[in-house]
Amino acid sequence: MHFKRDTCRVCLSKELTKFSELGPQPLANAFLTQKMVEEGKEERFPLDLYVCHRCSHVQLLDVVSKETLFSHYLYFSTVSRTIPAHFAAFAKEVETEHTQRGDMVVELGSNDGVLLSAFEGSGRRFLGVEPATNVSEAARKRGVPTMNRFFDMESVTIIARDLGKAKVVIGNNVVGHIDDLEGLVKSVKHLLTPDGVWIFEVPYLVDMLEKNEFDTAYHEHLSYFAVSPAKTMLERGGLTLVDVRRQPVHGGTIRLYAKHKEAGATPTPRVAELLKLEKDLKLDTLAPYQAFDARVRKLRDDLQKMIADLKRDGKRLVGYGAPAKGNTLLNYCQIGHDTLEYVQDTTPVKQGLLTPGTHIPVVPPEKFAHDNADVALMLAWNYEKEILGKEEAFRKRGGKFLIPIPTPRIV
């Protein structure tokens, strides 16, 4: 169920340095029932960030089995408005810039099918590959053909045999979840047509470091990509990184484009620009990671102090959103049920459960709407704009948000 690897998952070097210890932590999406808490079976695993000396890839070495993490999944892409809008634009780009009628688009980690559903009626063939049974079913219900299994050489061979090769392979917020990157790149290469393109999004390490987004670390996220190690990963598997574009979602993301090496494509200047940025930030040395860790410790101290002050003033605190990252933050900062009365979350499957490690009840938004809490700790800070927009009534009657990232502040 859990093992510790001793090599970099991009370049296989054994020289890695640990620069941040955020755990031991429970699994960030393992919301639990009261009964499970009483049985005391909740497990914790180290949550330590390492950087590779050879290729500078930032990663966890503690690996929780993918069957444990991804067979039943509590994250649904459609829980915000921001992400469906982002994916609609993404699908439009794939349709107009990268495919023609009759081409096939395959998405790995297709979740509830929100992205692929945009191809309905476009004349493109499309297929999702998604290991979680519950979200696969949600995808099928909305008419997105979905293979309920892990994306690997076996599934790719079946797809290529039965449906042919894919002009575009998509993989958003999933590459960082995969331990065997070598196998992943090989499988994608096998699935792509000779002129096909693999387009995938990962949270960008530069944003994570600059904005102190330590809470985006949890056991599902094995890799924290910069462009440089991503390029190394692709090249080792016979692909070329041909383009990269920064995106605002999930606290700062990069969208990468890779093609068969044999296609001979010339990378856009954006690739060189971001490689230069990473060099300028000295991401190939230890210094920026150690500085990040120091800022994260300070953030924890500052947040704890702000919360203690609010409590002393008799304020009632609750949590807003119960994202996986919120659980890293709550556990690392030791913010528990004695501090937050509840956390509200719009995801029906999370409601009625308790947060991992801190055991705070998750309640539906209606409770928060009628409750006159004083301060809401915004755990889903990546939707700040969307949330501030929709919670005007709370703020009008004097409610405040405490936004923890990049540095704790009250609005």
- Which stretch, 34-42, 179-187, 289-297, 323-331, contacts ligand TYD (CB under 6 A)? 323-331
Buried b (16+ CB within 10 A) or exposed e, 173-202: bbbbbbbebeebbbbbbebbbeebbbbbbb
Among 204, 325, 402, 408, binds ligand TYD (CB under 6 A): 325
Work out how close the CB of 231 gets to Zn ion at its nearest, in angstroms, rounded to a whole number. Answer: 12
Which residues sit opposite 49 in a β-bridge? Answer: 20
Tell whether residue 186 is a contact of ligand TYD (CB under 6 A): no
Residue 25 vs 80, nearer CB to ligand TYD: 80
- Which stretch, 64-72, 163-171, 299-307, 319-327, contacts ligand TYD (CB under 6 A)? 319-327
Partner whose binding site includes residue 270, from Zn ion, ligand TYD, none (CB under 5 to 8 Å by kind)? none
Among 45, 70, 73, 75, binds ligand TYD (CB under 6 A): 75
Alpha-helical (H) ranges within 178-241 are 181-191, 205-210, 227-236
Work out how close the CB of 181 gets to ligand TYD at its nearest, in angstroms, rounded to a whole number. Answer: 20
Tell whether residue 80 is a contact of ligand TYD (CB under 6 A): yes
Work out how close the CB of 204 gets to Zn ion at its nearest, in angstroms, rounded to a whole number. Answer: 18
| 378 contact partners, CB below 8 Å, separation of at least 6 | 320, 321, 384, 387, 401, 402, 403, 404
Partner whose binding site includes residue 10, from Zn ion, ligand TYD, none (CB under 5 to 8 Å by kind)? Zn ion
Of 345-374, binders to ligand TYD (CB under 6 A) are 345-347
Tell whether residue 387 is a contact of ligand TYD (CB under 6 A): yes
Q: What type of residue is 248? A: P
Q: What type of residue is 390? A: K
Nearest Cα residue to 179 out of 12, 361, 15: 12
Say how far residue 151 (Cα) sits from the centre of its chain. Answer: 17
Alpha-helical (H) ranges within 264-318 are 269-280, 287-312
Among 367, 371, 386, 388, binds ligand TYD (CB under 6 A): 386
Binding residues for ligand TYD, rule CB under 6 A, total 16
Nearest Cα residue to 255 out of 269, 239, 271, 266: 271
Tell whether residue 70 is a contact of ligand TYD (CB under 6 A): no
Q: What type of residue is 298? A: K
Structure token pair of residue 410: 């009250």
Among 128, 196, 229, 321, binds ligand TYD (CB under 6 A): 321
Residue 10 vs 209, nearer CB to Zn ion: 10
Contact assessment for residue 104 and residue 127, using Cβ atoms and an 8 Å cutoff: yes
Work out how close the CB of 10 gets to Zn ion at its nearest, in angstroms, rounded to a whole number. Answer: 5
Work out how close the CB of 12 gets to Zn ion at its nearest, in angstroms, rounded to a whole number. Answer: 7
DSSP state of 267: P
What is the Cα–Cα distance from 95 to 80, expressed in whole angstroms?
23
Residue 125 vs 325, nearer CB to ligand TYD: 325
Neighbours of 40 (CB within 10 A): 6
Question: Can you give the binding site for ligand TYD, defined by CB under 6 A?
Answer: 75, 79-80, 321-325, 345-347, 380, 382-383, 386-387
